[in-house]
Structure 1
Amino acid sequence: MKFAVLVFPGSNCDIDCYKAVESALGEPVDYVWHTATDLSGYDCILVPGGFSYGDYLRCGAIARFAPVMNEVAKAAEEGKYVLGICNGFQILTEAGLLPGTLRRNDSLKFRCHDTVLRVENNDNPFTSLYAEGEEITIPIAHGEGNYYCDEDTLKQLQENRQIIFRYSNNPNGSVDDIAGITNERGNVVGMMPHPERAVDGLLGSEDGKKMFTSILKAWRDRHESAGVR
């Protein structure tokens, strides 16, 4: 399985994502610059955290127009796995690949600490190795992590089980305590907490590792069922 880690001007979690794939999975992984126009050789695209284009205008608003995002949209349409973390989540909402938006934290302060998440849906390629209802410790580091959507969208997210993580103690004011969501198809996920920073006990938690191993399992299961070796 081949992973792409996108790199925008201002990305600062690209190395973390690369190292997480390398250490947790040992699968091939490449950095891919924001000007790339071909992602066909990759099975999973990671859109990392940071401050793409300095968060000018609005978080993710400029990165959304980078050439590589056209390829991310194609990959999502083809059913490939896309994971946006922190600023990556913001970019995916700006690109229309996920519903809603991310606003300033209700405290108007940057929050950087461990958080406890509850796994709301493990019937998903990104969460299948967790137990539903399991509580996991994943760090956050954001100033604009307050997830918002209108009532109709929230109802749709709830009814379709698109909410995959909720905060046990909401740190930013997100509606319905949402920490992570998926698209209707289930192959695109956005979350504000950083699972790539929780893949080794030396980092304080290994609870993020199962996200990466879940993706690999889903990919292998798909290929085995299709008879691909």
Structure 2
Amino acid sequence: MATPKALILRAPGTNCDRETAFAFEAAGGAAERVHLNRLLDQPQLAEGFQILCLPGGFSYGDDIAAGRIVGSLIRHHLDEVLREFVDAGKLVLGICNGFQILLKSGILLPDAADGHAPATLAWNESQRFIDRWVHLKTNGDKCVFLKEIEKMYLPVAHAEGRFVARCSDTLKSLDQSGQLSLRYTDAAGGEAAYPDCPNGAQLGVAGACDATGRVFGLMPHPERYLEPTHHPRWTRGEAGEVGDGLKIFQNAVQYFA
């Protein structure tokens, strides 16, 4: 089969698109960075790709709210295109700002019957930007991107990453369905409090997927830990043979192999 191709969608303020493209290529795929305006003008471009990735950064300066502007543009101009993309069995990944966009566009978690989003990413409880490394564990086996991954150690860098469901019933439903697929933990793998859970997310949620497991968003940055030397203590021998984040991209590429 031809090498799976990833469309890395960038916008003004995106700053992790090159690293994310490199991650897909390191995983054996091909990647092309495409500006949002180009996709708005030629939405049929998406047909030539198997994976869509919304990388990290500060799209449109995070004006109004993080990911809000790109999310709105998708809702009003690309909603049908992206839903056809997902319905065709393809994959969508949102990292940090990309996760915020996926939630605000309704692509990851469809709006409730009353038109309200089932969950959002709110300001960190500390009310400040957090930049640190965190321990993570997977929850269930629904998510394609997390196949054969039990735990990871990755960096986070965000101000609006606190996962909040609209109500307790929605949170319970998402949890029971296995869609709250990535959680923060402490160093021992137990329940995380601040600073191990850097933002105060409900149930320590660090990432979530849709009902199919093929649309996934996470706040940590897997593209920032691909090689052993990316680990903050690699000189002390704490890094593995490869970075923990690489497996996420390998899973996406191998899904089509």
Choose which of 103, 123, 140 in structure 1 pairs with 2:122. 103
Please state if 1:192 is matched with 2:208.
no
Aligned partner of 1:213 in structure 2 is 250
Choose which of 91, 100, 124 in structure 2 pairs with 1:81. 91
Q: What are the within-5 Å matches in structure 2 for residues 32-111 of structure 1?
A: 32-35=34-37, 36=39, 37-38=43-44, 39-66=46-73, 69-70=78-79, 71-99=81-109, 100-111=119-130
Structure 1 residue 214: Cα displacement: 1.2
Choose which of 174, 183, 190 in structure 2 pairs with 1:166. 183
Please state if 1:126 is matched with 2:172.
no
When normalised by structure 2's length, the TM-score is: 0.80
Distance 1:17 1:69, change over 3 A: farther
Amino acid at match of 1:55: D
Q: Matched residues in 1 for 2:28 and 2:65: separation?
A: 35
Choose which of 145, 168, 177 in structure 1 pairs with 2:204. 177
Q: Matched residues in 2 for 1:124 and 1:79: separation?
A: 13
| Counterpart contact for 1:34–1:66, Cα < 8 Å | no
Amino acid at match of 1:56: D
Structure 1 residue 85: Cα displacement: 0.5
Aligned partner of 2:190 in structure 1 is none
Q: Matched residues in 1 for 2:72 and 2:84: separation?
A: 14
Please state if 1:7 is matched with 2:7.
no
Bigger shift: residues 190-199 or 202-211: 202-211
Indicate the RMSD between aligned Cα atoms, in angstroms.
1.5
Provide runs of 4+ in structure 1 moved above 6 Å. Answer: none
SS at the partner of 1:152? helix
| Counterpart contact for 2:141–2:178, Cα < 8 Å | no
Structure 1 residue 122: Cα displacement: 3.3
Q: How many residues align?
A: 216
Amino acid at match of 2:128: K
Residue identity (%): 35
Q: Which is greater in Rg?
A: 2
Q: Which runs of 5+ in 2 are unaligned?
A: 110-118, 186-195, 232-238
Q: Which runs of 5+ in 1 are unaligned?
A: 221-229
Amino acid at match of 1:110: F
Distance 1:61 1:103, change over 3 A: same
Structure 1 residue 26: Cα displacement: 3.0
Distance 1:152 1:98, change over 3 A: farther
Amino acid at match of 2:206: A
Q: Matched residues in 1 for 2:78 and 2:163: separation?
A: 21
Q: Matched residues in 1 for 2:87 and 2:169: separation?
A: 24
When normalised by structure 1's length, the TM-score is: 0.89
Amino acid at match of 1:186: G
Amino acid at match of 1:218: Y
